[in-house]
Structure 1
């Protein structure tokens, strides 16, 4: 496993295919980290669509989206599944944030969150408007996740 991105490091720019469910349509496109410069962004890496823990985590973040957008942040969720799996996951769970497909685990490797046997570690990175990692959490086992309240508190703290 590569070394994880530490707070203060400049987040590597990347482009991934992704899609967003709006309640009626799953719209696909390219998501480039550099396009978010000037705005905070939460990157949530998760191992697998439709697994029990990942579903609870992504549903939590989706239902808390307004709390993030009130602070000027978007949430992008990244996993190794393709867009078809992401669309099924989003439709089935009414997930409203973009789900990005890192099928080759290229971005997960850049952020240092790949792991043998499990693929991607459940991880969250708060990227500041300047493109630097402001905060990160990488789960060792991956059965728990950082709740919306913790992420919004960290987001608020880094904007102070």
Structure 2
């Protein structure tokens, strides 16, 4: 069953590109931008990740953490993060267990979907954005939503 707006983030722990375990339960009490992307080093995913990189200072100003997730392994994530100077964790979801738990759909039954979840400081999902073809739109959408959090 897919995670919906108003649901709590499911409990998960995944390793990032540096071998650090990241847990939905052990994170800071800050909003979380959790973006699922299909694959490291592909054009759309690179544009999306670099968009989050370029706006990272703004996300920090808004008090949010940013975590990327794909099925790639830590080595691939480390190369991707180093090549593009990505300042946030990239979680390795080998076997796509978290992707399935969250209900991130596949496109055409084959391509892992591109979905961004925004959870508030209490871990409640407040916004979900899905758009496979426009990775940079995920950055703009997340920034808009988080700006409304801080304005409220």
**TM-score over 0.5 for the alignment?**
yes
**Structure 1 stretches lacking a partner, 5+ long:** 20-26
The match for 2:7 is 9
Give 4+ residue runs of structure 1 displaced > 4 Å after superposition.
Answer: none
The alignment yields a C-alpha RMSD, in angstroms, of 1.4
SS in structure 1 of the partner of residue 26 of structure 2? helix
TM-score relative to the length of structure 1: 0.87
Cα pair 2:16 2:22 within 8 Å, conserved: yes
TM-score relative to the length of structure 2: 0.91
The match for 1:132 is 124
Deviation at 1:147, TM superposition (A): 4.3
Deviations 1:4-49 (A, max 9, x none): 3111011101000102xxxxxxx33100011225210000000000
- Distance (Å, rounded) in 1 between the aligned partners of 2:140 and 2:105: 26
**Structure 2 stretches lacking a partner, 5+ long:** none
The match for 1:66 is 57
The match for 1:32 is 23
More helix, by proportion? 2
Distance of aligned partners of 1:137 and 1:94 in 2 relative to their CA distance in 1, 3 Å threshold: same
The match for 1:143 is 133
Cα pair 2:129 2:138 within 8 Å, conserved: no
Are 1:76 and 2:50 an aligned pair? no
Query: How many residues were matched structurally?
Result: 148
Cα pair 1:10 1:133 within 8 Å, conserved: yes
The match for 1:23 is none
